[in-house]
Structure 1
């Protein structure tokens, strides 16, 4: 039976943490080594962990160091050489009893599959699909294959390759994770899943969504049900990390023509936000690009390593990305309408839909 090293990252999750720990205590998979990381919680999470988790199986950071650094700290505690898989868990996710077994089975059936994730459903009584893998268009905009409030009727139950899966319930081959060097620890939250999975694809490893495995997820950070303690809003983090990942992963020719369009679209959104007096959103985009300017030397260093070790071209995985042309056309029409005296609502609505933190919170989740 494969050995699984599980890392549960906790940040101000006391409302649901006890229930999550209850499911991990069950004997659904006996060969599971669990480490719980308290990532700077300021609520009762620290006391729950102290009561439920032995000291040798827990790590505590005084402040939120970000998901990637929290995972890296936990991996240093474990023996990855003797581990087959690493399971990453958010503190607001409950896996169905058979989910881990289904994820492991998917990896065992095909050695080329390096990362898998479960179908995510809303944590509540109604069978609402939350996520079945993710993608972006060529300019970094997130695309969701699931409609808000979409009922799970088996329409997404085909196991398939995707660009990335969420870190909530992500299962990774341990040897592959070591080869990739783990997460980019500059990313405290948002798009860290995209970055890791994209790099896996470039090394020749496939990423799959396994709908037979189900996880029930609140999505507390995305819905802003808790304070991240990072000093930044989701829009800024998602924007800056998407741009950094594109600069590191795209091949030179594709990068040369894509990035000017990315910058232009960002400028259009910024102007639109200013015109509609959404100054906070405008500054979020400005800060995202300022961060990338400051981080450019580090990003270029990562780029050199990624490009040197890649075995797959951009063209070979282009089918994993959503088409980018419709977005450019939509923005162009919106700008033309604005210049003619119309409003900026068209492209601002699209920008909001693509960003984390804009989803509606179901009523059953609001009770937390």
Structure 2
């Protein structure tokens, strides 16, 4: 058994692998550490390139594109390690990035997963949208981070360099105990992509495990390498999967009131797209709500299992306020501006 398996999921990303895989190999070298690439049925020359240019990397060939969620579930069937890292193919890592996470997890068995500080590869002094210095959600399921609220991304001035308990850890560089990943069912493959790591983290948190951000470990993420921001497909997946995540995990007394408010907020978002003349994203939001209504019965058993296995619903990191209200109406653009106590 390896101590750590760093697993990069790839789909037609030969150029990304050429650019970023060398830093992962150099900075992850150590006893008991392996670097794997799980290929999601690529049609480019990714596999041939890996075999010829990166023979030290273990190649896991999947027979088709399973998406981000099931792609990792399938890949981990071929992995035997205490810890695994879900690492995007467009991430550069700092020297020694694994050591702080291994050290912390080894002495904190109550912690199921952690993440490094995630910075923007294009503007390296800024946090990166997809995870920054640790993730949280508001009452209505909207995610935000230390260092990022909606479109406002902060400059890293060391203001979030203290380790902190978080509600969710970024899927761009998620360090997790493999047995805990499997215990809670892994990523939900029905999500395909987007929101799946927050859903996974919610299950871990509700079952009593902790998650942390360890800023001593650093990585830089390109972001948007697969689907650009406000791509209609990304909009559809984010809205649909967020609703499914809420349905799967919300406490019974919150389900109806939260979902009523979310319906209003989603239609407001659709109208904003419409007023901008963005018909594609308007349709994506409407279609996401229709698809959520169609799929919801298929998730009833998952919801019941999550409720049955929860050790408590008052999970820290899920805040009772609306981040939309705090940010858009009250002008609280930074994590440090929020009423967190």
How does the TM-score come out when normalised to structure 1? Answer: 0.79
Residue in 2 that maps onto 1:76? 77
Residue in 1 that maps onto 2:199? 195
What is the alpha-carbon distance in structure 2 between the residues aligned to residue 288 and residue 320 of structure 1? 26
Q: 1:308 to 1:146 in 2, by over 3 A?
A: same
- The CA deviation at 1:189 is 1.5
Does the CA contact (< 8 Å) of 1:164 and 1:197 recur in 2? yes
Residue in 2 that maps onto 1:31? 32
Residue in 1 that maps onto 2:281? 281
The structure having more radius of gyration, on CA atoms, is: 1
Does the CA contact (< 8 Å) of 1:143 and 1:322 recur in 2? no
Does the CA contact (< 8 Å) of 2:140 and 2:322 recur in 1? no
* From 208, 219, 226, the counterpart of 1:215: 219
Does the CA contact (< 8 Å) of 1:222 and 1:234 recur in 2? no
C-alpha distance after superposition, 1:276-319 (max 9, x if no partner): 43211111111111221221122112101111111122xx21x4
What is the alpha-carbon distance in structure 2 between the residues aligned to residue 8 and residue 325 of structure 1? 34
Say whether 1:90 aligns with 2:88.
yes
- The CA deviation at 1:326 is 6.0
- The CA deviation at 1:115 is 0.6
Q: 1:45 to 1:262 in 2, by over 3 A?
A: same
- Gaps in structure 1 of 5+ consecutive residues: 334-345, 347-368
- The CA deviation at 1:125 is 6.9
Residue in 2 that maps onto 1:366? none
What is the alpha-carbon distance in structure 1 between the residues aligned to residue 22 and residue 39 of structure 2? 17
* From 97, 102, 105, the counterpart of 2:103: 105
Residue in 1 that maps onto 2:293? 293
What is the alpha-carbon distance in structure 2 between the residues aligned to residue 303 and residue 84 of structure 1? 28
Q: 1:279 to 1:264 in 2, by over 3 A?
A: same
Residue in 2 that maps onto 1:143? 144
Q: How does 1:253-264 map to 2 (within 5 A)?
A: 253-264=253-264
- The CA deviation at 1:40 is 3.8
* From 116, 119, 123, the counterpart of 1:118: 116
What is the alpha-carbon distance in structure 1 between the residues aligned to residue 269 and residue 239 of structure 2? 12
- The CA deviation at 1:112 is 1.0
Provide the aligned C-alpha RMSD in A: 2.7
SS in 2 for 1:183: coil
Ranges of 4+ aligned residues in structure 1 off by more than 4 Å: 53-56, 328-331
Question: Which stretch shifts more, 244-253 or 9-18?
Answer: 9-18
Say whether 1:65 aligns with 2:66.
yes
Q: How does 1:207-246 map to 2 (within 5 A)?
A: 207-221=211-225, 224=228, 233-246=233-246
SS in 2 for 1:138: coil
- The CA deviation at 1:223 is 6.2
Q: 1:258 to 1:157 in 2, by over 3 A?
A: same
Does the CA contact (< 8 Å) of 1:4 and 1:87 recur in 2? yes
* From 321, 324, 331, the counterpart of 2:321: 324
Say whether 1:174 aligns with 2:178.
yes
Instruction: State how many pairs are aligned.
Output: 322
Q: 1:308 to 1:48 in 2, by over 3 A?
A: same
- Gaps in structure 2 of 5+ consecutive residues: 332-341
What is the alpha-carbon distance in structure 1 between the residues aligned to residue 180 and residue 71 of structure 2? 19
What is the alpha-carbon distance in structure 2 between the residues aligned to residue 178 and residue 325 of structure 1? 32
- The CA deviation at 1:76 is 1.2
What is the alpha-carbon distance in structure 1 between the residues aligned to residue 174 and residue 323 of structure 2? 31
Does the CA contact (< 8 Å) of 1:36 and 1:53 recur in 2? no
